[in-house]
Structure 1
């Protein structure tokens, strides 16, 4: 138990699923260390026949007001609301509308505030006057002043405006086509349409905004004007401080929570409760309100994974009942309830011990919870094999005492479970060579747990079995051992399985017609499965982890439908380059990205904006003129404090604080942000990623400092290699199983047959996975890894038992084999099927996938192991172990005969010598005789 002091459950999905050997980890750390903050979104979507109606905007206004009233407690007990927690930007509305309104009359007025100020940052003795007051209270005087050709803002005058700007929340909300004080109850449909066509400036922040992008399902009239839309979207952005992110604190047990902080999680919890209430209150037959928050995916996926835990306990209870029926006979002394409980306890001890030992070096992940199923299946299978052997020895060797019976039973069953356990361990240890961290950890945990299962079965369980059998011999009650029964006899003998196997194999399977039908079935199944395998897709969609009846599934499905261009956010990140020397290459790269509107949209490209700014405001084409370091720093600072360039401040992070009126300093990192389109599978998103990587590599920029990054790329890296990893692990596991069985079974022919059975089982599993709608992903890869162990068990038991039976007739050997061990194998398969049956009702994708995979594995593993393999063995009849022993005995006998003959020859030679010499030495003669 001390090893659990090192127990660590990893909750960071990047550390779980992204290969260690790629630069994604390094890039992620670099971004978090330099950007220090990000955005986390809360979204609302309203769907109706026409959302451009006053009723919709009034309800959206009600929702927004309620959200603004949400409060949480800060670190010092203060109340925090959306205004405190939102991602903030400068509010420039006071002069943005003023300048925008005059834009068409005089382009100089558009540039007046931005650019008409002295570039000499050292001049501090300029005329001072309150520009903010003039803009607000004397707009006409302000416009007259700045449109005077002789007027030029000084640095101090211009920066006095910038430095006095207030900060406000950056949201995407159609209500911000109006000022925040507007009353929405008096709106008309015409008012909404007019605003939509004429408003290009956010009336709350003053920044440019495309309000049409918040609509979907848009319809136009004959003049091209928007007249209706089916959906409208509002997004509220929270500020995410990367330094406060601790997934060990805010992550969930399913490792599906994205980066967040405690405060944000508290706010989002109240947001979701509020939206649930408002949805019930405001929805009607013609209006649907959908919503989602940053924590929705993590909360629901985690809940879906663990809400069915009670079903697992139901499965365990069913398993115990099943075990009790198999292990017991129908009499009070032979009811083995206690032994059944010990069998389950044996599995639990193995699981805890294995996880504890593995935790010394490795992390525990959500998928490790499925380990208990494979340990349960393998452990119970071993118990059935031991009990089957013990019953046979008990019936055939009644003259032996209890200890001798147990020892002889373990002599037979021990070899079989040793072979199967070792091959299972080898299969998982080989799987640990994968590059996927979670799968690697899982395989090592599985190998250690199986080792502990084997150790406990052959020691602890066998010891308890001996004690329990002594209780049975003393006629003590199986439930209350202190009660002793007199002269009991079982009410019936457990011969049903034996009779069924004897009839099924002797009269059907092992007949000539039966063998032909089995072989034809195998050929047909294999051909069909190979055809299906060629059609199986490598695909994983995160929404599969979300139950279809949840609010977030409804939101996400409609969001994808109405806003396919708003996919996953990503960007091209540029590190600490010489920006002035590489500016032309950076701009050309940004142009290439902007031109790929087939894969990206909503691009925030500061290089192209800077290029346009220099052309419009400074009359300098930076694609032809290379700026020196001083010019670059001066112009970049002016650009980032201009109306057009201010929104790009978040895209560049500097070593020192950026200040208005001072040259920009050293850039630590910059970004060109965009949205990937919504892709269906990797045949679409992998080429998109490769296209951006090619643009970077052909830009003549240092690839160490320029890279494409987005959280979704972590999933894509996994999807890119998962099929290769699955096939590689299966091939290596099969090779390991072949080598292991060859060493343990010591019969190359049977070893080859077992290998073929496992291979054909996996082919059928893969084919019918496709038929059942499964794809290759991280969940099914784990299921396939587990399936190897089960398939090996079924075939190895049959193959090993066949070698222990000697008959000249192959059919008789095969029939005795299945009568001896097949019942235990079928019971083991039945126990596995029973334990997973309850998972069929689960809403969790992981459990549903495991149910499908293990159902297929049990069916085809048992078919190839208990039907196909006996047929093959009966046809080719590999030599039993006894023939090898007889050969060894014959060799030993021949050796002894040769030695005796040599001794006689030596004796005769000595007598002849003595006779020729005429010696009569009786003592010598007696000695020879």
Structure 2
């Protein structure tokens, strides 16, 4: 060889290195196949021993039920603010609501119905741990302070001005001796907090039975203080679909709302005990959860009791119940899917004779998926990865991937049988089958695993956990495919050679049964389709033009793809909770999301002016509505009762400020703010305050259209609060709302999707470069994967889907899945040495195309049952995987072969699929010498 010939180009050098690596991998699989074929029963035994040992990890199995740890980034403000709130306040309210609609709910008959409902709710009891709990044991109690309450009436010519009221900040308790007043306060009765129109009649039945329609209208419009508790309240807020008279008074209302508030001590809640399997249950206690179940059971009967009224209802557990039922109520479809998949596999690998009816082999293909799933849960549990809500869809995915490997090995077996000497021993045939199929399976499995591991770097906990489970599942699918399945495959071939029946294994046919020639009717049709349509010049032009047009269409659609998620999507239609949400949104469209400003340890006297200015700035924001600030109320209270302006500076001592604050929190004016403060010691009437550890202020966000408005609103309000220059204490200040959990996820999900898709594509490219010897082929495989992802994203938008956490998980899996189709075709094309590019491309699709198409069909079939699910998660998965399979098969079986027929690379430097008799004989001699076979 000349010096010039010895000099290698980078391409040649890389192909040489990669060829050595691939040859090494092929050699491993060849030896593995021979060993398994010689010891099939031992392989099966070892496989099951490994499965049983792996299941031992289930003793550490843990289902994460805490929604904060599932759906919220751990480094987000919401995560830290929620923990701060639990640590400092640890209280939560859960609402039980009944919405009543009629032509006019301001009628005595409606009040009588509300009275009966209220009485029944008060008598309802739940039993837990040998104790009985009523609403009085579980509700949020507030003191009855109506002795100092004042009521007022406001009138205006315009309805929208009705809410303007004058507030009296004078404190009648200051007229009394402190000890006497505190003795009264300590003896205040308490009652359950509720928003109930019956309070306007002080819950006195004799007044209620004598009421008239005009009396109802007058009380609802005029009374602004709860006659039962003495706390201010505007009862017009309970009404929806209202009509006004010329004076601005409500005269007709289409709906009325009754609300009961239940109390939860968040620090005592065990989410493992009360949470649900999809992580949508909020903090609650077991007795309260049981009582809420009784409440829902009763509410369901109201339609039968009151035929002329419509009832819509919700409980604190409604979202968790309906979303959980939607997710896990569909698990019966999994068993149906397994049965249908078994029939599909049986038809795909069997032939219409008693010997080649491969009942066992089809069952083992599905069994290996179950074994992989069991090992996945065992090992992931052992290393401490929690099981999450979307993991229930993993069996559907693994079924598709596992059967894909089985079809590839079956296709390679046909090549071996048709190309080798019939006298070649079965172990050698199995070795050659696995030699070729193993590399192809390694390419797809390894790229799937890498793509999933890339997804695991996400900051979203549930996505990270799912990707790790899926990567582990793909790994075990690969392991059992090349061991357990190959062992059973060997036994099945031996059964056929021994002429044993495919169903009744003990029966041996006495006469020979003619076996099929390996070509099925479907494969013949496929070959004709490619030869007469696809690989004609017009066919190639149509496919390339179609690819370009659809890709351009998809790119245009991607620019309109929205980033949006609404928790209500988890609620299926035709459920009581969905009906309630729809009705509530219709009758109370202005209701937004409640939020709080959280303030930590600081000198509230020194910082009071800054806090007051902060509140004024917040009220200027269009995003802030109905702000109820103790700061402004306390300022007016001190100004009215002590003639001292807290905004004049720091001329007020800390001692006097704290004394005023203590008096304020026990006054009729400020008593409602007690729960918004935390002190080192329990607050007592007449006592002193030495330090304020934390405080809250409540407000409401208006209803937003989508993330383009609520994410800026969240940041604007947060910035206003955090930019307040606090110089004392911890200085902690933030804004918290339950809705921030979804908003924070929405904020990062688009970045997560973009980053993970890009990294996964890069890793897929690198993996194929390592495992496939030809860089040009790697580039075409990468282009096929990229086109598939572009088309999936584009048609997601056309299908009405948005970018959210569920779609993010689906896209992570999609990248690993869509590379399989192109990789099988590309790898097979490189192994064919004879003929023109067009002939090699045709031989590629006719030899491996059936297996790839069957694999795509199995994945689609395994996921098709999700299309019938009412669960948003399953529906989204189905849509994404349908698009992945559709475009993945198109790009892998049509676009890629057409491109390769024009400009495909040359064959590999080594003929990996050469099963000619001469090559096999040479290989057999070498193998016998090296392995003692």
TM norm structure 2: 0.88
Q: Could you tell me which of 801, 805, 821 is aligned with 2:828?
A: 801
Partner-residue secondary structure (3-state), 2:870: coil
Matched, 1:380 2:414: no
C-alpha contact (below 8 Å) 1:100/1:110 kept by paired residues: no
1:884 to partner: Cα distance:
8.5
2:97 and 2:258 in contact (8 A); partners too? yes
- The structural deviation recorded for 1:112 is 5.4
Write the distance in 1 (CA, Å) between the matches of 2:900 and 2:238.
69
- What residue is the counterpart of 2:299 in the other structure? 275
* Higher RCO (Cα < 8 Å, 6 or more apart): 2
1:158 aligns to 2:181 (yes or no): yes
SS in 2 for 1:44: strand
Say which of 246, 254, 272 aligns to 1:222: 246
Maintained 8 Å contact 2:830/2:906: yes
Question: How do residues 891-902 of structure 1 correspond to structure 2 at under 5 angstroms?
Answer: none
Asked if 1:456 corresponds to 2:466, the answer is: no
Report the CA distance shift for 1:399/1:467 in structure 2 as closer, same or farther (over 3 A): same
**C-alpha separation between the residues in 2 aligned to 1:842 and 1:481?**
39
1:13 is matched with which residue?
Answer: 67
Where in structure 2 are the equivalents of 1:471-870 lying within 5 Å?
Answer: 471-485=495-509, 486-490=511-515, 494-596=519-621, 598-626=622-650, 627-701=652-726, 705-870=732-897
**Alpha carbons 1:590, 1:672 under 8 Å: kept:** no
- CA offset at residue 775 of structure 1? 0.8
Query: For residue 29 of structure 2, what is the aligned residue in structure 1?
Result: none
CA RMSD for the aligned pairs?
Answer: 2.0
| Aligned equivalents of 1:754, 1:491: Cα separation in 2 | 34
Q: Distance in 2 between matches of 1:844 and 1:624?
A: 58
Q: Bigger CA drift: 562-571 or 800-809?
A: 562-571
The residue aligned with 1:178 is 201
> What's the CA shift for 1:664?
2.2
Deviation of 1:95 after TM superposition, in Å, equals 4.3
2:373 aligns to what SS in structure 1?
helix
SS at match of 2:499: coil
Asked if structure 2 preserves the Cα contact closer than 8 Å seen for 1:656 and 1:666, the reply is no
Q: Which whole-Å CA distance do the structure 1 matches of 2:887 and 2:375 have between them?
A: 31
Partner of 1:111: 170
The reply to whether residue 357 of structure 1 matches residue 379 of structure 2 is yes
Does the 8 Å CA contact 1:656/1:665 hold for their aligned counterparts?
A: no
SS in structure 2 at match of 1:572: strand
Q: Does 1:48 align with 2:70?
A: no
What is the SS of the residue equivalent to 1:236?
Answer: strand
How far 1:185 moved relative to its partner? Answer: 3.2
Identify the residue that residue 881 of structure 1 maps to in structure 2: 908
Deviation at 1:115, TM superposition (A): 2.8
2:116 matched to 1:92? Answer: no
Cα deviation per residue 1:584-633 (whole Å; 9 max; x = unaligned)?
1111112222333x323332211111111112111111111423210111
8 Å contact from structure 2 (residues 171, 667) kept in 1: no
Structure number with bigger Rg = 1
Residue 522 of structure 1 aligns to a residue in which SS? Answer: helix
CA distance in structure 2 between the aligned counterparts of 1:758 and 1:427, rounded to whole angstroms:
12
Do 1:113 and 1:158's aligned partners in 2 also have CA atoms closer than 8 Å?
Answer: no
Q: Tell me what 1:83 maps to.
A: 136
Q: Secondary structure at the match of 1:696?
A: helix
Tell which deviates more after alignment, 829-838 or 761-770.
829-838
Q: Partner residue of 2:218?
A: 194
Per-residue CA deviations over 1:162-202 (Å, capped at 9, x if unaligned) read: 12211111111111111122343332110101111221111
Structure 1 pair 74–165 and aligned structure 2 pair: CA distance change class (3 A): farther
Superimposed CA distance per residue, residues 234-262 of structure 1 (whole angstroms, 9 cap, x where no aligned partner): 11001111232111000011111011111
For residues 883 and 779 of structure 1, what CA distance do their matches in structure 2 show?
44
CA-CA distance at 1:390 after TM superposition: 0.5
Instruction: Please name the residue that 1:903 is paired with.
Output: none
Verify: 1:249 aligned to 2:304, yes or no. no
Cα displacement (A) at 1:408: 1.0
- What residue is the counterpart of 2:416 in the other structure? 393
Query: Corresponding residue for 2:56?
Result: 2
Structure 2 residues not aligned, in runs of 5+: 1-54, 155-165, 914-933
Rounded Cα–Cα distance in structure 1 between residues aligned with 2:555 and 2:168: 71
Q: Secondary structure at the match of 2:724?
A: coil
Residue in 1 aligned with 2:345? 323
SS at match of 1:111: coil
The alpha-carbon deviation at position 717 of structure 1 amounts to 0.8
> How many angstroms does 1:472 deviate by?
0.8
Instruction: Tell me the secondary structure at the aligned position of residue 581 of structure 1.
Output: coil
Q: Distance in 2 between matches of 1:547 and 1:564?
A: 21
| Matched-pair contact (CA < 8 Å) for 1:565–1:601 | no
- 2 CA distance for matches of 1:271 and 1:386? 57
Name the residue aligned to 1:313.
335
Judging changes above 3 Å, is the alpha-carbon distance between structure 1 residues 98 and 512 closer, same or farther for their aligned structure 2 residues? closer
Distance 1:604 1:726, change over 3 A: same
Deviation for aligned residue 1:229:
1.5
- In 1, the alpha carbon distance for the partners of 2:168 and 2:756 equals 67
**Number of residues of Structure 1 aligned to a counterpart in Structure 2:** 841
Seen in structure 2, the aligned counterparts of structure 1 residues 113 and 519 have a Cα distance that, compared at 3 Å, is same
Partner Cα distance (2:336, 2:902) in 1: 43
CA shift for structure 1 position 97: 5.5
Give the one of 364, 383, 406 matched to 1:342. Answer: 364
Q: Check the 8 A contact 1:382/1:417 in 2, yes or no.
A: yes
The aligned residue for residue 104 of structure 1 is none
Whether the aligned pair in 1 keeps the contact of 2:170 and 2:637 (CA below 8 Å) is: no
CA distance in 1, matches of 2:415, 2:488: 19
Asked if the contact 1:333–1:472 (Cα under 8 Å) also holds between the matched residues in 2, the reply is yes
Aligned to 1:121: none
**Whole-angstrom CA distance in 1 between matches of 2:626 and 2:266:** 24
Tell me the distance in 2 between the aligned counterparts of 1:430 and 1:814: 33
Contact 2:71 2:462 in 1 (8 A): yes
Deviations 1:361-400 (A, max 9, x none): 3111011122222211111000000011112211222231
With structure 1 as the length reference, what TM-score do the two structures score? 0.88
Q: Write the deviation string for residues 691-735 of structure 1: whole angstroms up to 9, x where unpaired.
A: 111211332136960011122211111110101101110100000
Q: Give the secondary-structure state (helix, strand or coil) at the position aligned to 1:773.
A: coil
Q: Secondary structure at the match of 2:494?
A: helix
Structure 2 Cα separation of the partners of residues 264 and 796 of structure 1: 55
Question: Residues of 1 paired with 2:71 and 2:90: CA distance?
Answer: 24
Q: Give every structure 1 segment of 4 or more consecutive aligned residues whose post-TM-superposition deviation is greater than 6 Å.
A: 98-101, 107-110, 883-886
Q: Give the SS at the match of 1:881.
A: coil
Q: Is the 8 A contact 2:773 2:908 kept in 1?
A: no
Give how far 1:108 is off: 14
1:98–1:872 CA distance, 2 compared to 1 (3 A): closer
Question: Secondary structure at 2:699's aligned position in 1?
Answer: strand
